[in-house]
Amino acid sequence: MSEAAPVRHFPVVLEGQPALVTGANSGIGKAVALGMAASGADVVVNYVVDPAAAEEVAHGIEACGRRAMTIKADVSDEDRVKAMFAQAIGHFGTLHILVNNAGLQRDAAFHEMTLAQWKKVIGVNLTGQFLCAREAVREFKKRGVVDQISAAAGKLVFMSSVHQEIPWAGHVNYASSKGGVMQLMRSIAQEVAPLAIRANGVGPGAIRTPINRPAWETPKAYGRLMSLVPYKRIGEPDDIAQAVAWLASDAADYVTGATLFIDGGMSLYPGFATGG
């Protein structure tokens, strides 16, 4: 099994730009929240379960010399989302960056999938991204561009997946939610571009996090996973955090409506490397 990648350098390009990261107490969200702080942003750490883990991320942000706050909110709940944005904006004065990261899986064979499993995944992964993006856009639109801070009035980053493209048997709720995230992101990007708001997606492949532990935790599973990854290593959460920090920065000021796949080539149809 490959070793965890070394901690990478984050250019300090997000100073003065408070960021809200949903689902920031573990996995990709945690790395993104810490990456935002390493890039100079103050960060709101949203979570639903495990407040101790959220506090630990907040301490990590403070160790970077940035301000942090934790807010418990289920992103699929409209009232809770509104209250979270009001609290975050009240605390930091405004927000410049939203990372719509919170997501989950409830896997089942299609003929056995319950409506509850379908609704849970669509609720958090898709409706949650809609609700948070809407609140963020309202704030970005109200404030407008502040030249000394950023060329854009605000930046939205949507956590999607390779499964916005790759069908996934046994996970139709998840793949449907991520296909939806792609069109949600692209349609918002088109609509808000004239307001100098950018929206982009990130499409992770297999990243070493709790959501897919069974896919990497044993050497046998890891070997099987590698048959789907031409680059022959699992992704680390920092691989994603680096890309999110860049997309949120003015270095990416002409990038909107794009999905950046970060997957070691998983979306390159690896089966065709030797066939076809």
Instruction: Enumerate the active-site residues.
Output: 174
Stretch that binds ligand BGC, among 30-38, 146-154, 199-207, 253-261 (CB under 6 A): 199-207
Closer to ligand BGC by Cβ: residue 39 or 267: 267
Q: Which amino acid is at 164?
A: Q
Single out the residue of 1, 193, 211, 221 in contact with ligand BGC (rule: CB under 6 A).
211
* Contact with ligand BGC (CB under 6 A) among 162, 188, 192, 252: 162
Q: Does 208 bind ligand BGC (CB under 6 A)?
A: no
Please count the residues of this chain forming the interface with ligand BGC, following the rule CB under 6 A.
Answer: 10
Q: Which helix (H) or strand (E) holds 263?
A: none
- C-alpha to C-alpha distance for 22 and 88, rounded to whole angstroms: 12
For ligand BGC, give the closer residue by CB, 105 or 129: 105
Choose one: 6-14, 28-36, 157-165, 235-243; the region binding ligand BGC (CB under 6 A).
157-165
Cα–Cα distance between 233 and 194 in angstroms, integer?
Answer: 40
In the set 18, 60, 205, 264, which binds ligand BGC (CB under 6 A)?
Answer: 205
The H-assigned helical ranges of 96-127 are: 115-122
Distance, in Å, from the CA atom of 26 to the CA atom of 223, rounded to the nearest integer, reads 25
Q: Which amino acid is at 119?
A: K
Select from 73, 102, 153, 206 the one that contacts ligand BGC (CB under 6 A).
206
Q: Quick one: which of 99, 101, 111, 122 has its CA closest to 173?
A: 122
Q: Which stretch binds ligand BGC (CB under 6 A): 49-57, 85-93, 192-200, 211-219?
A: 211-219
Based on CB atoms, which residue is closest to ligand BGC, 4 or 12?
4
Quote the CA–CA distance of 57 and 31 in Å, as a whole number.
9
**Residue 125 touches ligand BGC, criterion: CB under 6 A:** no
Residue 163 within binding range of ligand BGC, rule CB under 6 A: yes
Is 240 among the residues that bind ligand BGC (CB under 6 A)?
no
What ranges make up the beta strands (E) of 190-246?
197-204
Work out whether 104 is an interface residue with ligand BGC (CB under 6 A).
no
Query: Exposure string (b/e) for 74-99, b if CB count within 10 Å is 16 or more?
Result: bbbbeebbeebbeebbeebebbbbbb
Cβ neighbours around 167 below 10 Å, total: 10
Shortest separation between residue 79's beta carbon and ligand BGC, angstroms: 28
Nearest distance in Å: CB 179, ligand BGC: 12
Write down the residue that tokens 């896919």 correspond to: 215
To the nearest whole angstrom, how small is the minimum distance from the Cβ of residue 158 to ligand BGC?
13
In this structure, how many other beta carbons lie within 10 angstroms of the beta carbon of residue 219? 9
Question: Is there binding between residue 215 and ligand BGC (CB under 6 A)?
Answer: yes
Across the beta sheet with 197-204, what order do the strands follow?
68-72, 43-47, 19-21, 97-100, 154-159, 197-204, 259-262
Q: Which is nearer to ligand BGC, 160 or 242 (CB)?
A: 160
Based on the shown chain and the rule CB under 6 A, indicate whether residue 212 belongs to the binding site for ligand BGC: yes
- DSSP secondary structure code for residue 164 in this structure: G
Binding site for ligand BGC (CB under 6 A): 105, 161-163, 204-206, 211-212, 215
